[in-house]
Chains A and B, each alone.
Chain A
Amino acid sequence: MNHDWQGSMSDEAGDAELARLAQTGDRDAFAELYRRYAPVVHGLLLARLPWHEVEDQAQEVFIAAFHRLASLRDPGAFGGWLCAITRNRAIEFLRTRAAVEELSEEAGAKCSSDVAESAEALAAIRALPESYRETLLLRLVEGLTGPEIAARTGLTHGSVRVNLHRGMELLRRALGKELQS
């Protein structure tokens, strides 16, 4: 099948077209949106949930998104809409699973110094304000660039740039304190 989104469109234009096609039930279009947005959903969930829950919940987010596509009025706003679903999913998960024992990444960190270091870095990012936390995880864990984060989340370039730099500054301080202690 040759879709009209498989051309030279920009990502944003392509996303809108993909979302529009997906609304008509085009699974290939949705699969492409999934491929593009899975790291974003993964990163946003990682900002809130235990690591071992992220993968399952990411699948749930996309299934929910697929079901609710008809409610997306502006296909061009797919990224921001999907991010909102992701955040709500995380909140809902934490509300219903509050009593479930969490084997934290920090507990696992006793395994080795490498793992401990990565768990400390993740914990330090998670302790940051939400906007910094999300943007830094998308950048440092998922490997998206600033412009890609802006395109996928619906934030302006300016906001992403500020979140990255202020967040990084706070992260440096937090990691510095941990090293000292």
Chain B
Amino acid sequence: MNDYLWDRNGGDAEIERIEDSLARYRYIERPFVLRHPMAVVTKHARLPLYMSPAIAAVLVIAIGLLIWSMMPGKAALTFVALEGAPRIDNIAVASAKLYVGSRIETGNSDRARIQLRGIGWVQIEPGSVLTLIEAGAERQRFRLERGELRAQVNAPPAVFIVETPAARAIDLGCAYRLRFIPGGESMIEVTDGWVEIDHGFEQTLVPAGAMAWFTVNRISPAYMNQTSPDFRDAMLQWWRAQDEPTRRTALARALSRATRSDAFTLLNMLRRSRPEERPAIYDRLARFIPAPPEVSRSAVLAGETNAEEAWWPVIERELGLGTIKKKGPLRVDPYWPN
């Protein structure tokens, strides 16, 4: 008789479904790392008396190092090579503890994963350079010089941060993909929760199912992956346009292609628009989701600071974008890339 539960022969749809569901918890094969040189000590081995002070000194140093390593900011994260031969500080490593200043580099066929302390993991994709710059219990911060990473984080807002030379990604939970291309357009795509991408005083909140582009100077409006290619292309053309006619034409096309599900993007566009563009964007957005009474059309068109603030939660609720964890435990200063 078939007994899939016992020997995995045959099949059982229900058990296989549970197995698939639990696969994310499965052990990932990795080499065993002896962190210290070791010798097997036999049960009856005796050490010469003169060795005792030396052993005591070694123990004191070891305990000191252990306490030092557990201090905030000194906490180690775990690095594991998944594919190829990724390097830490130019040395190929299969697995190791990471410390502040550790620089990870992956070649074209390398992939690695960092287990964050208690809040999730970061996967480093091929062709990337990533440096750990803060590793405390309250904040774990990296700098992505180039390449791509995927993060899965379950932590209060602003505990996990990735900086790039163009902008900074502040995790508001849960999962995202970040690609930084030096000198080019970089991208963030959020698959769960929210991520804030910011640069100086410009910021974009990117919800699950949305993405945004950024360069050294600018961050695009976030847009939903499911939006129509027509709207997406026109909106991005508007954002990228270098000349007035192109910008004007692209805006007109974007507004005509927009649907109710693009309301979040339209509000993003409103925030980045020029005075002469605002009436058209405002009116198009208001047709899909009317502004709440606290939002004054004239104040928004005049570009008053935070004039459209009360519109955000209405749109987020109407589109079912989920709640943002508004405040983390820590203040985040403006980020000025260098």
Contact = CB atoms under 8 A, between A and B. Distances in A.
Given A117-B21, A140-B18, A140-B22, A146 B27 contact: no
Interface residues of A, number: 57
Interface string B9-48: 0000011001101111111011111110011111100000
A145 interface: yes
B22 A141 contact: yes
A175 B42 CA distance: 49
A161 to B, nearest CB: 6
Contacts of B154: 103, 107-108, 111
Interface of A: 22-25, 27, 30-31, 34-35, 38-39, 42-43, 46, 50-53, 55-56, 58-59, 62-63, 66-67, 69-71, 101, 103, 107-108, 110-112, 114-115, 117-118, 121-122, 139-143, 145-147, 161, 164-165, 168, 171-172, 175
B38 A52 contact: no
Contacts of B29: 35, 38
B115 A52 contact: yes
B6 interface: yes
Interface of B: 5-8, 14-15, 18-19, 21-27, 29-35, 38-43, 78, 115-116, 118-120, 152, 154-155, 173-175, 191-193
8 contacts: A52-B115, A59-B32, A66-B40, A103-B154, A114-B21, A117-B21, A121-B18, A145-B7
A107 B173 CA distance: 11
Contacts of B40: 22-25, 66-67, 69-70
Contacts of B116: 52
A107 B18 CA distance: 20
Contacts, number: 117
A72 B154 CA distance: 41
A164 B6 contact: yes
3 smallest CB-CB distances across A and B, nearest first, come from A42-B27, A111-B174, A111-B192
Contacts of A115: 24, 192
Contacts of A165: 5
Contacts of A164: 5-6
Contact of B22 (A62, A108, A122, A145): A122
Nearest to A114: B21
A168 B22 CA distance: 14
Contacts of B34: 27, 63, 66
